[in-house]
A and B are shown apart, each in its own frame.
Chain A
Amino acid sequence: MNWTVPRIWEGGDVWILGGGPSVTKQFDIPDEVVQAVKAGTSPLSVYSKYMKPIHNKHVIGINVVFLIGDWMDMVFFGDGGFFQRYKEQLAVWKGLKVCCHADVENQPWVKFIEKNRQHAKGISPRPDRVSWNGNSGAAAISVAANAGAKRIFLLGFDMALGADQYQHFHNVYNRGPIVREDQLAKLHFEIHLLGFPQIKEDAKKMGIEIINVSPTSEIQEFRKVSLKEII
């Protein structure tokens, strides 16, 4: 059954935590901790204690980010393959699980929210739809907006590789540094960026301020700040 996002965060701040490499710098996570996570010797959850400043905020974790901790209100994902790989961990995770991929439609413990085909880019004006924008992080902006957010903070929305050529602040997908031509060719940052001009326009119409807490981000549509400036 299709879910309609309730306006539970009316007038509030919502944080969307993506997987971009800038996240660890924003939370001052020591390099040895990051390296241990990337090497697979520490679980993603070791990042949790460094993220205390947002534990009590309204937080949507994108994809595998949910493994950091169950202090997040919600995990959002849009990929059926992701669900197949992480269904065991998702099944026991205590927060709200929301997905816009039809493959999970019949899972009673996952809220399924359809993609808005009439408004594929931007922010869905319908609370029972999300504008996909080509990636889960940008799709989650529709969820935050329709939950009533007045301000949306984007963390880890780099849309670029980190200095060590990693795509994420972890190596859970086991991709390692992206250096080979064939790996670089599979990156879709330019596609991920396509929706943001319309997101900016829709946010303005809806009276929502979007703040990019990813200072090195390739997204140019929103004010960029560091976490220290706002927390």
Chain B
Amino acid sequence: MDRTKKVKAEVDPILPVEPIYRWKVIGGSPFHGGNHRIYKPGEVFKATEAEVPMAFRDVIVKVDVASVQEQEKVIPGKVATYKLKERAKVEPENDKEEILYDIVNQKGKIINEAPLVKEAADSFIKDLTE
């Protein structure tokens, strides 16, 4: 029987990511951050809760409720969609019949101001959706 050797798995431990917030110096004096940086009055900087001591929280305030990580997270959402609806046929001087269109949203509401030729309507839909 082959002798087996126990091998310690080389996996990095998953450490919890500490939330980073945006902070603003609202006091009249600069704030000396833990990373040897000095933040001027009015300056906005990013730091964890632990990096801004409680004693300074009257002059250093959180800019946002949510952490930077939370804000940067892409969340699924509905993209507004539109389609074309024929409005009218026009006959210009060259006798070539032309159909004009409206852009309607999911509720059937007309989005454009004036009726459009197909190319213009398609272009607007692209502008609104891409």
Measuring CB to CB, which residues of chain A are less than 8 angstroms from any residue of chain B? 4, 6, 8-12, 55-56, 58, 70-71, 73, 80-81, 84-85, 87, 90-97, 103, 106-110, 148
Contact = CB atoms under 8 A, between A and B. Distances in A.
Contacts, number: 81
B71 A91 contact: no
Interface residues of B, number: 27
A84 B66 contact: yes
B109 A71 contact: yes
Interface residue SS majority, chain A: loop
11 contacts: A8-B113, A11-B114, A73-B111, A81-B64, A81-B66, A84-B66, A84-B70, A97-B80, A108-B74, A109-B79, A148-B113
A219 B64 CA distance: 30
Contacts of B109: 55-56, 71, 73
Interface of B: 64-66, 70-72, 74-80, 103, 105-107, 109-114, 123-124, 127-128
A148 B116 CA distance: 15
B113 A58 contact: yes
B74 A9 contact: no
Q: Which of B70, B77, B78 has the most CB of A within 10 A?
A: B77
Nearest to A6: B127
A90 B113 CA distance: 25
Contact of A108 (B79, B106, B114): B79
B80 A94 contact: yes
Given A71-B109, A94-B106, 12 more contacts: A8-B112, A8-B113, A8-B127, A10-B113, A56-B110, A73-B109, A81-B64, A94-B78, A94-B80, A97-B77, A108-B74, A148-B113
B78 A91 contact: yes
A58 B70 CA distance: 33
B128 A91 contact: no
Contact of A81 (B65, B76, B77): B65
